[in-house]
């Protein structure tokens, strides 16, 4: 099969189109003929080696975390799916590789594709929707009447997180450039702040939860808008010792993460704010819950561009540019 691979970590290198073997199907796996794959900033960060300390991959490596496609083979212990099912998934770490014609996925990571979405739309959902779910539902436990600040509202995670927070009854504030205001208000944002000429910390106060996806400076500002007992959940770091424990990292990684996160953890503690780092996990059951919301018209995917398979490098460059409004997709079939 054809696949886009990296042979070494590199900031400037491009993905290489290669002929590789179709993945082996284990007992709990389904083999999926890939129709579409989502492109995420995470793919770029893995390409550059930014996460090699916490995610040690063997090279050469096929990139890609989001998939929508059709099952062509099932392992002998698979009970949830059959050949011919249309599915979607964010595949688990250590088993990524959706920039390819086929992928083997543990059945626990997959869900039936929402009936009202195309393959391209479905491929845009898993990573960003699971991230939003795990931040807002699992960690923040967001409830009706609470206030949530979601940074970078027009990005992949932001567009879904706004819709999810509104569904749970929260008042939602977000940041974006002025050209995205109409879209974000349509998605349900109550307060949209133009990050180019206004500072959110001067506009917001007494918030219950913040989804941080930006730089360290923005992370610190976010602390100042939270109420006592509020939750600051970052998907862009710095990772914490608790996260090192979660992933069963070696002792020296725990020490490194403890050092790099000590500043923000101390400041959060002084304000009685709970700081945590979230590395989203593949989860087919949560994806089933998200499917229900999509089929009910509560969550809709926001797509920016769809690239053909042979333009995978251009798709990744476009995501890296930071200009995408919503998700970027590769069409494989």
Task: Round to whole Å and give the CA distance between 212 and 226.
Answer: 12
**Residue-level pLDDT, tens digit, the chain, 333 residues:** 999 999 999 988 899 999 999 999 999 999 999 999 999 999 999 999 999 888 889 999 999 999 999 999 999 999 999 999 999 999 999 999 999 999 999 999 999 999 999 999 999 999 999 999 999 999 999 999 999 999 999 999 999 999 999 999 999 999 999 999 999 999 999 999 999 999 999 999 999 999 999 999 999 999 999 999 999 999 999 999 999 999 899 999 999 999 999 999 999 999 999 999 999 999 999 999 999 999 999 999 999 999 999 999 999 999 999 889 999 999 999
Type and span of the H or E element at 81: none
Assigned token pair, 277? 């780092």
* Distance separating alpha carbons of residues 262 and 278, to the nearest angstrom: 16
pTM score, whole prediction: 0.97
| Beta strands at 102-106 and 66-74: parallel, antiparallel or unpaired | unpaired
Which among 84, 80, 95, 106 is positioned nearest to 33, based on CA atoms?
Answer: 84
């Amino acid at each position: 099969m054809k696949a886009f691979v990296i042979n070494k970590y590199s900031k400037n290198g491009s993905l290489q189109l290669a002929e590789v073997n179709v993945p082996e199907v284990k007992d709990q796996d389904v083999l999926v003929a890939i129709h579409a794959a989502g492109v995420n900033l995470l793919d770029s960060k893995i390409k550059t080696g930014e996460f090699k300390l916490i995610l040690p991959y063997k090279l050469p490596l096929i990139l890609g975390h989001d998939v929508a496609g059709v099952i062509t083979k099932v392992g002998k212990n698979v009970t949830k799916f059959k050949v011919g099912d249309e599915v979607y998934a964010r595949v688990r770490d250590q088993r990524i590789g959706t920039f390819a014609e086929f992928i083997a996925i543990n059945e626990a990571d997959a869900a039936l594709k929402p009936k009202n979405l195309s393959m391209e739309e479905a491929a845009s959902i898993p990573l960003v929707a699971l991230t939003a779910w795990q931040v807002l539902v699992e960690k923040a436990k967001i409830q009706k009447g609470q206030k949530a600040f979601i940074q970078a509202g027009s990005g992949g995670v932001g567009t879904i997180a706004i819709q999810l927070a509104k569904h749970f009854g929260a008042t939602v504030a977000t940041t974006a450039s002025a050209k995205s205001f109409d879209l974000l208000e349509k998605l349900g944002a109550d307060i949209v702040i133009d990050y180019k000429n206004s500072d959110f910390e001067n506009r917001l106060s007494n918030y219950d939860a913040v989804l941080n996806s930006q730089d360290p400076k923005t992370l610190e500002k976010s602390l100042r808008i939270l109420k006592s007992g509020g939750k600051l959940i970052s998907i862009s770091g710095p990772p914490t010792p608790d996260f090192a424990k979660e992933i069963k990292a070696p002792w020296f990684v725990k020490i490194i993460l403890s050092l790099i996160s000590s500043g923000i953890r101390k400041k959060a503690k002084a304000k009685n704010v709970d700081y945590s780092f979230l590395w989203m996990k593949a989860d087919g059951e949560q994806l089933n819950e998200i499917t229900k919301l999509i089929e009910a018209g509560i969550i809709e995917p926001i797509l920016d561009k769809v690239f053909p398979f042979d333009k995978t490098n251009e798709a990744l460059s476009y995501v890296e540019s930071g200009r995408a409004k919503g998700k970027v997709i590769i069409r494989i079939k």
